[in-house]
A and B are shown apart, each in its own frame.
Chain A
Amino acid sequence: MSTRQTRTAGRLLVAPSVVLLFVWMIVPLVMTLYFSTLRYSLLDPGSEVYVGLENYRYFLTDPAFFASLVNTLVLVGSVLAISIVGGIFFALLLDQPVWGLPIIRLMVIAPFFVMPTVSALIWKNLFMHPVSGLFAWIARSFGFTPVDWFAEMPLFAIIVIVAWQWLPFATLILLTALQSLDGEQKEAAEMDGAGPVSTFIWIVLPHLARPITVVILIETIFLLTVFAEILVTTGGGPGLQTTNIAFLVYAQALLQYDVGGASAGGIVAVVLANIVAFFLVRLIGKNLEA
């Protein structure tokens, strides 16, 4: 409900954002699509040849693609599992009448604000170093042989680092959701004879269903493109053990200078992300009407 005047002003003021985002999304994407049909190497510019879907065939049948797809899924799945389960635990804990809650809150949320390169290097050196890392010392004190994390279980090491960064995010959102739960609802459940466990299962969990979905979708968007943590710790190795799709595309483009192959990989990544985005957008869209 407004006048033509304000609607015109409205269109005029939305236009810059729409145009910019449209250009930012469409132009590079179309270029990526175009490059993905070329044999195009940065080492040999000017020799581009149209090869149709050759790059896709090559990229999708490359064992590296399958390995990195699996790595991506394992990474995303594990981090999601850790952050959701851990997030629920922390959220429930912080929803209790704990002493010094503001300080605890700050400590729990802090890892989310640490830049990826910092957290990766701190974990890699100060904690997971096979000789001088804190974990190695702990293992030795209990009489175990220290684990060389990035050699023996590199993907797990990366999962730990990434999960450490995203657990606070899940906690923060689930805690916010938990605090919006009507206290009377819980009291009503209590009056109905529900114990703490049944209250959690029948009242709290259903209330958290939506925020959990939101956490899953948003984390997935970000986790699909984990990059810096891999670049500064393992560089995708050893072998392909920690290469995910994002890193593979990067390596293809800027390490092997294969623009065509990297572009095909980029498109594959976009398709994967879109599957997730489809559900997230629908969920948020529904919320917009409420």
Chain B
Amino acid sequence: MGKIQLQGVRKVFGQVTVIPGVDLTVDDGSFVVFVGPSGCGKSTLLRLIAGLEDVSGGHIFIDGRDVAGLPAAQRGLSMVFQSYALYPHMTVRGNIGFGLKMAGTPKAEIARKVEAAAATLNLTPYLERKPGQLSGGQRQRVAIGRAIVREPKAFLFDEPLSNLDAALRVQMRLEISRLQKDLGTTAIYVTHDQVEAMTMADRIVVLNQGNVEQVGSPIELYERPNSLFVAGFIGSPQMNFLKGAYAAAHGAPTIGVRPEHMRAARGGEGWKGVVAVAEHLGSDTFLHVDLAEGGIVTARVIGELGLSAGDAVVLSPDPARIYRFDADGKAVAK
């Protein structure tokens, strides 16, 4: 069991309000990702749930019990840190088993559980090594092993993949997702990387300046962002925003079109412009286009079109996929 509810959770550091008040429910067994730019308060929110910081106000319920006043050690959660925070003087075995040892678990049981966890994570050959003798990916796995061995109510991940190289990041992303599904344990995962958020989450919580901007499944956020902020944050490459005449034509101060929702041609009807840069990825091409009436947009074109810098181009957005935003940046219903 591991249902986490936040009720009016606030955090103030001195004069600075980092989190003005968050209400949120994380369902048992779900994988929830907190995403947002740096400084949006996502890590602070995670640390509040962990008990590494005190809330300035509000309640945190884990399975219905208010834990806001409890120390981290008594909340039954485990955490994977960005720096992994492995104990450098202990072996892998010692690291994974430390939490059990603190809980006074009998030695034989610790050994059994540690070995089981190590087997799941392919760490068995490294059990007697110290963290200093492991590669980045292995350290990451030890940190995860330390988290799962205690069978916590929920896992907390604080940007755990940001110290890994790109290839390893993709692999670990998959491993963490699969492990979480297998164990069925609630997970809260903090990241600034929207790709991680999209690929791993059951539900994404987009945070902006300490406020929950939108909560939903990855596809919901992609298809129905309720603000400029979410629209700009979810999706890669970023959504194009246009003002002026282009927007006025659709009756809104700002419109947005995703790069993949535009077609490019050498002629015809649409937004006329000149290719500034063409990035050829083989499978598709990113065209950065200077529009005739001001602004730069990026269009994603499947395959090769033979366009290069300086060529004239006409972009035609899919009319059903044009997002309209009001002056406050809120999405306007179609």
Contact = CB atoms under 8 A, between A and B. Distances in A.
Interface string A1-12: 111110000000
| SS of B interface (majority) | loop
B53 interface: yes
Nearest to A1: B53
A10 B51 CA distance: 17
A2 to B, nearest CB: 7
Contacts of A2: 52-53
Interface residues of A, number: 5
Nearest to B70: A5
A3 to B, nearest CB: 5
A284 to B, nearest CB: 25
A3 B71 contact: yes
Nearest to A6: B71
Contacts, number: 12
B160 to A, nearest CB: 20
Interface string B14-58: 000000000000000000000000000000000000011110000
B269 to A, nearest CB: 57
Interface string A223-249: 000000000000000000000000000
B252 interface: no
B51 A1 contact: no
Nearest to B52: A3
Interface in B214-258: none
A1 B52 CA distance: 9
A3 B51 contact: yes
A3 B72 CA distance: 9
Contacts of B72: 3
Contacts of A5: 71
Nearest to B55: A3
12 contacts: A1-B13, A1-B53, A2-B52, A2-B53, A3-B51, A3-B52, A3-B53, A3-B54, A3-B71, A3-B72, A4-B54, A5-B71
Closest 5 CB pairs between A and B? Answer: A5-B71, A3-B54, A4-B54, A3-B53, A1-B53
Given A2-B52, A3-B51, A3-B53, 9 more contacts: A1-B13, A1-B53, A2-B53, A3-B52, A3-B54, A3-B71, A3-B72, A4-B54, A5-B71
